[in-house]
Structure 1
Amino acid sequence: MRPPLSLLQARKLHATLLKSGYHGDAYRCNLVLRAYARGGALADARGLLDLMPSPTLVSYNTVLSGYASSSTPGLLDAALCLLDAMPERDSWSWNTAISGLARAGRTRDALRRFLQMTHTALVPDAFTYSIVSPCCGVDLGSARQVHARAVKAGVFADACVGTGFIKLYAELGLMEDAGKVFDCMPLRDLMSWNVLLDCGVRSGEAGSCMKEFLSMTGCGVQPDEFTFATVLNGLAELSAGLEAMQVHSIILKSGYLKDLFLCNSLLDLYGRCGYIDLAKKLFDAMLEKDVVSWTAVISGLAACGYQADAFDIFRQMLKAAMLPNSFTFGSIVSSCADVNDLGSGRQCHALVVKHGLELVPIIASCFVDMYSKCAKMDDAIRMFEIMPQRDIISWNAMICGLAQNGQSARSLELYDEMTQLHYESVTPNSVTFVGVLSACSHAGAVQKGCSYFTQMVNDFHIEPISEHYTCLIDLFARAGWLDEAEEIISNVPFKHDAVILGILLNGCRKYGNLDMAKRFAKRLLVNNPDNASAIFLLSNMYIANEEWSDASKLRDAAISSGTHKVMGNSWIDVGGQVQCFRAGSSPDAQFEQIYDVLQQLQLMMVDTDKLVTQINPLCTYINCE
């Protein structure tokens, strides 16, 4: 087969044909037209086509293909004009024009040309339907019509046609119809299975992905990297760690474990499911690691409470000269926030500044959250104020941080300021109102809290979740509106948990409502018989009310059942290491030294007090003199 002409060769041949008078030779002219079309010299191609005394269908289709595939504005319309002017057309002509319109996003025009084609003697082929099906978009009526025509034309023997309709129905949210198309396909290749799996996961039906995957392998179709990536994505949404291990073993047997993307997907999945040991083993075994690999294992460790290990991996990442990205810093800063590690958080801040990422919204929001949780509100406010762009995450971090640190009034002012911006990207969400209601609760602003709750439901159409009701109940319980809090508990559309009942029980203790406390303590202890906080809180209320017998019975019952009060813990950062103190714990050697120092300080304070007692009369005498 002769290789295609280059653009220079085409121009030489064109000149030769003109000089020798052979410009009517259709074969040679078609070679030149093909070279012009491939080289983008479409003006020359059209000029030659117009000079040809008897252009063939191939001649027209060659120029038409060049027009339709060009990204130059206006040439697609030139292709349509040429299509209309052609003395004859075949399926190639129509398919070329329709595919050009589809690529340009002119889906309505593509469907219009498809219908125009059906009114000719030509019958759309499998390629036509594979082009047209994605053009139906969200128009279910057009999708049904095109589907019916494809069934009537009998083109489903081509797997590409069925695959296109699976994607079409999935995008319309009709996964059941997509499944029916798949079941009726006479031939299902790897692409068909991959599209079905991907559409299922994207449509929120990740639960069926493992079932479809097993059906696929049972039919003898060998999965590829895309298959495994799709299945792992679905399992990650379900936090299905055991199934992930099974897929991991299949990936290993199939020889795809060298694929970096799959390894990163497994790392992320194991981290989400809490299988940290598996994640670390896989990470250590990986021959190639990129920033996604490091970030996945760091975020997994941090999310599961292994902050020290997360920092260790982060240090290894820096030593390996791997440049952290915004997600890496976001994970490590969030880890500092979770354990109130201000020192490490400041070190990360310095490193972020060094890398020029301080003002990236996701990182800046993490710093606002970290400083807020470490009670450094001045730093949190400074970070928030220097942000050039603030998304809803940034606003939420600041609103919630102020509410948690006793600055309820400023928190509510900030919320009002945010809502006055009227930015589409900064619309209050569920997290926003948790912070707002919490601020109202700590400020004792009952009326405001009720107003904000109503605004959330009526103005922003946010469905209240348990956290919102918890804040509302806390708002009433703190203010002494115990009957109103009880009414909300009776009407919440979900099962009462220990937190909600505990909040009201604490309100009863604060305001001395022993009768209500008894009712809710019984309800709480039915589902949580070992809830030490409720038992001892109610016992203390009995004691405060001088009901010694009931208090003694309750405590004796708790002791006999093995219920123990949770001991309090305190942490202090000494020399970069966090030391833990627990009430009632037996002192070790270091604690004995601490107690010795405390005793010495106490003695010094006593001596100082005696000295002040002796000096004061002398000072009085001198002043009198």
Structure 2
Amino acid sequence: MEIRTTTQLANFLQFCIDKKSHTKGKLLHAHILRTGLFADTFLSNRLIELYHKCGNLIAAHRVFDKMPHRNLFSWHAMLSAFCKTGDIDEAHKLFVKMPERNSVSWNTLISALVHNGSDQKALNLYHDMNQSGFLPTNFTLASVLSACGALKDLNSGCTSHAFATKIGLDKNIYVGNALLAMYAKCGHTYNTLKAFEDLPEVNEVSFTTMMGALGETDHIEDAFHMFQKMHRIGIKIDAISMSSILGVCARSGIHGLGQQFHGLIIRLGLEKDLHLSNSLLDMYAKYGDMDSAEMVFNNLLKVSVVSWNVMIGGYGQTFKIKKSIECMERMQRFGLEPDEVTYINMLTACLKSGNVETAHEIFDKMTSPSLSSWNALLSGYSQIGKHKETVKLFRNMQFCNVKGDRTTFAVVFSSCASLGLLKGGKQVHASSVKFHVDDDIYVASGLIGMYSKCEKINLAKCIFDGMNGQDQDIVCWNSMMVGLSLNNLDNEALMLFKNLLETEMIPTQFSYATVLSSCTKLSSLSHGRQIHARVIKHEIVNDVVVGSALIDMYSKCGDVNDARLVFDKMPKKNTITWNEMIHGYAQNGQGEKGVSLFKEMINNSCDNLKPDAITFIAVLTACSHSGLIDYGIKIFNSMFQEHGIEPLSDHYTCVIDLLGRDGRFDEVEGILGNMPCVNDPILWEVLLSCCRVHGNVKLAKRAAEELFRINPCNSTPYVLLANMYSSLGRWDDVRKIRELMVENKAVKNPGYSWVENKDGVREFNVDDKFRMVDKFDERYCLSG
């Protein structure tokens, strides 16, 4: 009879567990206590499970504490209860107390740690599990690989992959998909593709992961091909896979393609899925097509906070700040409270529109701004060039006892660098040490940039050299190369690039652009050619940034023909590319070709390019060097009239040089009377030089007086005016100029030249013997 009663009670309890019937379960609990059956471990375990399923963790814990006899299932039931309710600390305490454990015990806690974002703790526990001799299950490995991906810990991920292969779980679909996600999050597209190819079977999760990974790394066409393959082999397309491909569409910027996928969603009957609808909203918002986004939004059966946030962010991206504010007000009228993302989107929208006051009002309304909100405001200030406000906000953040993270410090270091604020930068550095984030590679790159721009390159070197080789990423190397180049240590920048090639890291487009800039500054054509060979080898020669840098290097090293070859072979060009080529012709005395290329650019409708301020500097220089005076004036007049570009001091300098070379000083004086940039020393130096050539003493004297006013210690105007007087035999005026030069303590620096030969680059002054700048030995060989 007792066995029958226990079985019946167990069945009744299971019914209550399935139905989550808390009240009936409590009645059964009372009956078990009254009949003296509580000592039955099986029934007590069912009671723990009942209370856990009904959300009464206190009652479950009370049952567990009063159990006279516990078995492994009792401990697992309580452990699972703590894990599923997110009480990780109590779960860990219980785990430590367990008299025995099996793989389920380890797997339950590891999975819970990953689910709650405690990825590093999960990896540490997994290590302990291996040390204890327990083999992981496919679920354990899937959780561990997920943690590796979240931490971008490629080494641990590769180790786990190797172990999965060793115990034969690498072909498991759960482990295989987790491997794909891990490599994707670590940015290793090749390994992601290899893991995908190695899977014996694939499902919708595999394809969705691949599409996301390819989209994130800008392999847009490959992502679309993956979707086509998924559809072709008959794998079901669900809302999640459609959401992933919409994300790729948003990154591609191809509006028509996104509309086609929208049509497919309707055809598959998936338009009612809220998550997918939010993805559609996000895609149209990122296109800047807020009309289509509004249409989707207005047809939503259910509107979530996420939906409102996407609309607020979309209006902010298109600088419709009033619409963003209206959205937030409507959201609140519908009974939905703004969350952290809402406020961050509003902050970003206000700052993008230059509405700093409204941004501050929104920030001040937040009762307890999170770190993400502080970072959003800091980043917004920094991006619109309000660097002083960025530093002040960081100081307020310290007063509020908010601990900054890697993003905080990277943004503040960038602002300190832009301000040349060395003292403030050092104080922020000290704060990063205090919060133990100074060794983060993201922060270290910011530090290197800050010290480099503040002309403390030795401190930047100390930061870089102090990092462990494994901790240095390509961003750190790039920051250090840029720092060396900024401080005119281009030989060292070349050497650092050589050291980079000896590591396992692959140089980026930015790496090549930086080292090509160093070759340009050194006028080292031989090293520039070696870099070009590497660019071809690594198949990034078509990159628009690298291509533009190559054109600049060849032009400034005097090989304009090779510059044009690079230009002609580039499949995609931007305004910078055209500017470099036009300027290259101007620098190398082929102004007519520069002007011809400018006309081609203006008439070129394929790339939809518009000339900018730099374009006009380049073409005006080309006109000046070719004697195309009238055409140059015509171009100058068309700047604002036809292209809406306000002339800057550099443009006025080009026009004065253009007219001055031809001796048309009446027109020059007309421009001088109307130009807004009277304090630009280069402009007056150009005018003075032209006056010297044509012997225009009156205008030369005016130009020199302006230069004396701007900077009395600059020796250039004294020397130019004195040379002009001496060529005319006016020796008394020469003496007066030299006396004035002594009186104003203007000292002329000696000129120098350098020449490159097989032994290196040699630098020499007019009164100095040869001295080696830096010897290029075999260490500087960049080919291979």
TM-score (norm 1): 0.73
Equivalent in 295, 299, 319 of residue 482 of structure 2 = 299
SS of the residue 1:571 aligns to = strand
1:249 Cα deviation from its structure 2 partner: 1.9
Greater CA deviation, 68-77 or 265-274? 68-77
**Do the aligned partners of 1:569 and 1:583 also contact (CA within 8 Å) in 2?**
yes
Structure 2 counterpart of 1:449? 632
2:390 corresponds to 1:209: yes
**Residue type matched to 1:74 in 2?**
I
Structure 2 counterpart of 1:253? 434
Distance 1:309 1:319 in 2: 15
1:3 Cα deviation from its structure 2 partner: 11
Distance 1:110 1:136, change over 3 A: farther
Distance 1:164 1:524, change over 3 A: closer
2:291 corresponds to 1:108: no
1:212-361 residue pairs with structure 2 within 5 A? 212-287=393-468, 288-361=471-544
Distance 1:416 1:125, change over 3 A: closer
2:570 corresponds to 1:368: no
**Residue type matched to 1:443 in 2?**
S
Distance 1:362 1:80, change over 3 A: closer
**Do the aligned partners of 2:764 and 2:771 also contact (CA within 8 Å) in 1?**
no
Distance 1:96 1:392 in 2: 39
Structure 2 counterpart of 1:51? none
Distance 1:252 1:177 in 2: 34
Structure 2 counterpart of 1:475? 658
Distance 2:605 2:314 in 1: 35
**Residue type matched to 1:545 in 2?**
L
Distance 2:442 2:771 in 1: 50
Give per-residue Cα distances to partners, 1:320-352, cap 9 Å, x unaligned.
Answer: 243222211111111111121122222222333
The percent of aligned pairs where both chains have the same amino acid is 31
Greater CA deviation, 366-375 or 104-113? 104-113
1:226 Cα deviation from its structure 2 partner: 2.9
Structure 1 counterpart of 2:595? 412
2:726 corresponds to 1:543: yes
1:31-110 residue pairs with structure 2 within 5 A? 71=242, 73-74=264-265, 78=269, 99=278, 102-103=281-282, 105=284, 107-109=293-295
What is the alpha-carbon root mean square deviation over aligned residues? 3.6
SS of the residue 1:529 aligns to = coil
**Do the aligned partners of 1:101 and 1:109 also contact (CA within 8 Å) in 2?**
no
Structure 1 counterpart of 2:25? none
Distance 1:314 1:163 in 2: 39
2:581 corresponds to 1:398: yes
Distance 1:550 1:347 in 2: 53
Structure 1 counterpart of 2:193? none
SS of the residue 1:71 aligns to = helix
| Number of residue-to-residue matches in the alignment | 513
Distance 1:589 1:180 in 2: 62
**Residue type matched to 1:267 in 2?**
I
1:543 Cα deviation from its structure 2 partner: 3.2
Give per-residue Cα distances to partners, 1:362-421, cap 9 Å, x unaligned.
Answer: 222222211211212232223223333332222211111111111111111111122221
Gaps of 5+ in 1: 5-26, 28-38, 42-65, 83-94, 118-123, 591-625
Give per-residue Cα distances to partners, 1:549-592, cap 9 Å, x unaligned.
Answer: 2223333443565544443322222333222221233x4799xx
Structure 2 counterpart of 1:378? 561
Structure 2 counterpart of 1:428? 611
**Do the aligned partners of 2:582 and 2:597 also contact (CA within 8 Å) in 1?**
yes
**Residue type matched to 2:372 in 1?**
M
Distance 1:275 1:110, change over 3 A: farther
Structure 2 counterpart of 1:190? 371
1:309 Cα deviation from its structure 2 partner: 1.1
Distance 1:354 1:80, change over 3 A: closer
**Do the aligned partners of 1:69 and 1:100 also contact (CA within 8 Å) in 2?**
no
Distance 1:177 1:98, change over 3 A: farther
**Residue type matched to 1:112 in 2?**
N
**Residue type matched to 1:297 in 2?**
M
Greater CA deviation, 519-528 or 438-447? 519-528
Distance 1:141 1:157 in 2: 17
Distance 1:456 1:479 in 2: 22
Distance 1:497 1:200, change over 3 A: closer
Greater CA deviation, 127-136 or 543-552? 127-136
1:471-620 residue pairs with structure 2 within 5 A? 471-559=654-742, 562-585=745-768, 587=769
Distance 2:711 2:401 in 1: 51
Structure 2 counterpart of 1:60? none
Distance 1:163 1:483 in 2: 57
Distance 1:185 1:486, change over 3 A: same
Distance 1:334 1:520, change over 3 A: same
Give per-residue Cα distances to partners, 1:72-124, cap 9 Å, x unaligned.
Answer: 74369957779xxxxxxxxxxxx87975764564631465368x98xxxxxx9
**Do the aligned partners of 2:656 and 2:668 also contact (CA within 8 Å) in 1?**
yes
Distance 1:384 1:550, change over 3 A: same
TM-score (norm 2): 0.59
Distance 2:382 2:441 in 1: 21
1:308 Cα deviation from its structure 2 partner: 1.4
Distance 2:374 2:432 in 1: 17
Greater CA deviation, 285-294 or 194-203? 194-203
Distance 1:104 1:387 in 2: 30
